[in-house]
Structure formats: C-alpha cells, structure tokens
Amino acid sequence: MLDNTTRKIIHIDSLVIITIVVTLQSLLCESIITMRWFLNYLEKPFWFTFIAFAILEMIRNKVNLRSLMYLAIPLLLSFHTSRILINKTFVFTFALMVFCSNDSIEKVVNIIYHVTRIFFWSHLALFFLSRLLPIGLNDYVLYDELGARYGIFTYNPNTIARVFIFYVALSCFVHDMDLSVKKWLIIFATTTILFYLTRSDALYLVGVSFLLTKATGSRGVDRILTFIVKYGVPIFTAFSLSIAWTSRMPFLQQWLLQLNVLMSNRLTSNLKAIGLYGLTWFGKNSVFGKLFIYQGVTYNYIYADNMYVYMMVHWGLVYLLLFAFLLFCSADKLNYKAKAMILILLMYGIGENGVIGLYSFFSVLIAFSGIVKNDSEKLGVYLGGIQ
C-alpha cells in the first residue's frame, strides 16, 4: 500500500494537464516558430494526451452518462465543424467545458494565464533578441498604409496584440481585479511598445481592463455589465450589420458611415463578407485573403473582421445562437470579474475575429461554469429555475 506522501507525489491532476494541452494547442498554432513543428510532430500526441487525461478526469469525478448529455450536442457539433474547418480547437474547447464548474474554473483560468504569459513574454524577448543578435529567426512584417507592422513571430501583428490583450484580462481575473501600480506601469509601457510595433487599434482594450478594475465594487457598473453580458451578442451583432438595416434612416446611417471610416471600414466589410461567402449553420471552410470581385469592384483581403459576422459565415450560425444563449442564462449568476472578462471578449469581437483560441475564448468557460452546479455531479446544469 502507498502512504499518503507517496500518493501526493505520484498524483497527476488531469484537469491541469488537459488545460495546458488545450491552451498550448491554440497558442503554438499562432507562432511562426512553433506552428509547423506542432502540426508535423505534436498534434497527434496532443490529441492522445487530451483523450487519455479526459478519461482519467471523468473516472475521477465519476461523470455519468446523464451528465455528459448536457454537452453531447455541442460536442458533436464541434467535432463536425472541426472536420469542416480543419481546426480541432472547437473540440478541445467544448470538451474542456465538461470539466468546468464553479469549484474548478479558477484553477483552469489560472493555468491559461500562466501558459499565455510564458508565450507572450518569450516571443517579445525573442523579437528584441533577434534585433541584437543573428539568431536565425525571421519575423513576419506586414506593410500597409500604416507602415511596417511587426508580427513578433506570430502570423499577424493583430495576433500578438490579441495575445497581450487577453493576457492582461487574464491577469485581472487571476488577481481579483486588483493589480498593483507597478504592474499597471509595466502593462502600459508594454502596450505603448506594442502599439508602435503592431499599430493594432484593439489595444485600447487594455485601457478598458484598467477602468474595469477601478470600477470594482460599483453596483451601477455591475448592473451595466450584467445587462451587456445578457444581451451583448444580439446588440453587437445588430451593430455589426447596422449599415444594412439603417438604409432608410439617413441621419443614423451617415453617422455610422463616419464611424465606419474610423473602424477601418469594418462595418461595410461585414456586409461584403456576407455577400461574398453567404451564411452557414454548421461551418464552412471559406477562402479568405484572396483577390475577388464583388459587384464589379475588385477587393483584396475583404473578410469578416468581426467575431459575430465571422461566426455567421465561417463557424456557423448555431455557434452564435449557442453563445448568445449561454451568456443570457449565466449573466445573473456571474460575479463582477467574470462579467468583466466577457465584456472584453464581446468588445474585442466588434473589430476582430480571431477568438477561437482558449487564451481568448476562456470567457466561455467562465460563463458555462456559472450555470453548473457546484457539487460532485459536475454537470448538473441549471437554467433559470430548472434544475
């Protein structure tokens, strides 16, 4: 028989392993340094590791068949979509939801935070090192009307900005919305450097995260957050398509067209994307980033730079509906910091689409944990008064 000390030494927390695998899978595919290496050598081992430890976690928590039924449809949908889009992140993320509850979500988010932190700082350090020494790594540089924009060893300048934005959000969550002045000074200095290198306007969300930490304890702000979490998906979806439905409201549309210019024509691009790609219910592997002709005009790289429209034309409308339903059901059950994280995701989605990675989509796990009963039957989901 093993004594208690030995048991503690050999014990492996399967939930920790699962979360590390899922987070790494999404981050390694964002990096110029690791993406091909991961796809060629690590993808299958990651799958086997995930499946093995998922089975261990289900055995440890005695997850029964009835419990699994709560996520059976989303899991099957995610598997179907993953095959269409050739992206297994859907399966990983939805499967991880099986193990998230009120008593595990803090641990899960904490792991995502640490993995994302290592990824971001290692890439930023390598970027500056490559400017000082010939280390044999070539960075991705995008040249557009803004000038040279550096990817910092990711495939797009907006990608490293996204990693940093959600790294800051994760920091706020992990530290209970109470970051020190020193940490904020480091964050703002890094934000300034990143904006200079990437020219990503989405970095304004770092400031939003700062304001949310300072509004902690405000009942008024908490009520506003609850409303936005509950109704944010339909509101922001309507806004994303506002150029179309305000066609008979000249004054409002004129204002929106001016806003569209400030948003780098994202609102009109949303409509062009829907016109080009069409809508899909369960996912469609749309071809992005190529020249095409739309209504007699040639466009280059027009796509849905918007999470809500991207779901409509690429992931599938069913995911937009499930997302809206999940947030509606969980809004009244979440604490302030959880709702703040969801707000960051919703606001980011207005002008960007790359949110499928767990390091940015972790808010979905938080929302799901809000409707999971905190007892031995992890998936005793309750919606409203139905248990």
Contact 172, 205 (CB under 8 A): no
Q: Are 74 and 97 in contact (CB under 8 A)?
A: yes
**Given this model, what pLDDT does residue 14 score?**
81
Q: Measure the CA–CA gap between 259 and 42, rounded to whole angstroms.
A: 44
Give 302-345 pLDDT, tens digit per residue: 567 888 988 888 888 988 998 899 899 989 989 999 999 999 99
Which among 113, 123, 54 is positioned nearest to 358, based on CA atoms? 113
Lowest mean pLDDT: which of 213-222, 255-264, 365-374, 375-384?
A: 375-384
- What tens digit of pLDDT does each residue of 32-42 get? 888 888 888 88
Q: Are strands 147-150 and 141-144 parallel, antiparallel or unpaired?
A: antiparallel
Q: Given a cut of 70, is residue 68 above it in pLDDT?
A: no
Calculate the alpha carbon distances from 112 to 79, 208, 385 in Å.
Answer: 22, 21, 32
Euclidean distance between the first and the last CA atom of the chain, given in angstroms as a whole number: 41
Say if 302 falls within a structural domain: no
Residue 327 belongs to domain spanning: 12-232+314-369
Q: Which two tokens stand for residue 42?
A: 């690590």
Summarised one tens digit per residue, pLDDT across range 223-249 is 999 999 999 999 999 988 887 777 677
Residue 374 belongs to some domain of the structure: no
Q: How many CB atoms lie within 10 A of CB 3?
A: 8
Is 380 part of any domain?
Answer: no
**Residue 244 lies inside a defined structural domain of this protein:** no
The per-residue pLDDT for 378 is 42
Q: How confident is the model at residue 160 (pLDDT cuts 50, 70, 90)?
A: very high
Identify the CA nearest to 353 among candidates 387, 298, 315, 296: 315
One-letter amino acid of 3? D
R_g (Cα) of the chain, nearest Å: 21
316, 317, 321, 326: CA torsion to nearest 10: 10
Q: Does residue 382 have a pLDDT over 70?
A: no
What's the rounded mean pLDDT across residues 96-102?
70
The HSE-up count of residue 201 (CA atoms within 13 Å, CB side) is 11
Give the pLDDT band (50/70/90) at residue 173: very high
| pLDDT over 90, % of the chain | 29
Q: What is the pLDDT of residue 227?
A: 96
| Residue 70 in domain | yes
Mean pLDDT over 114-135 rounds to 90
Residue 312: DSSP 8-state: I
Cα–Cα distance measured from residue 159 to residue 355, given in angstroms and rounded to the nearest whole number: 10
In a domain, 287, yes or no: no
DSSP, residue by residue, 200-216: -GGGHHHHHHHHHHHTT
How many distinct structural domains can be found in the chain?
A: 1
pLDDT band at 376 (very low <50, low <70, confident <90, very high): very low
Q: How far is CA 109 from CA 17, 268, 374, in A?
A: 13, 36, 17
Q: Is the pLDDT reported for residue 119 higher than 70?
A: yes
- 86 in a structural domain: yes
Instruction: Give a yes or no: residue 171 inside a domain.
Output: yes
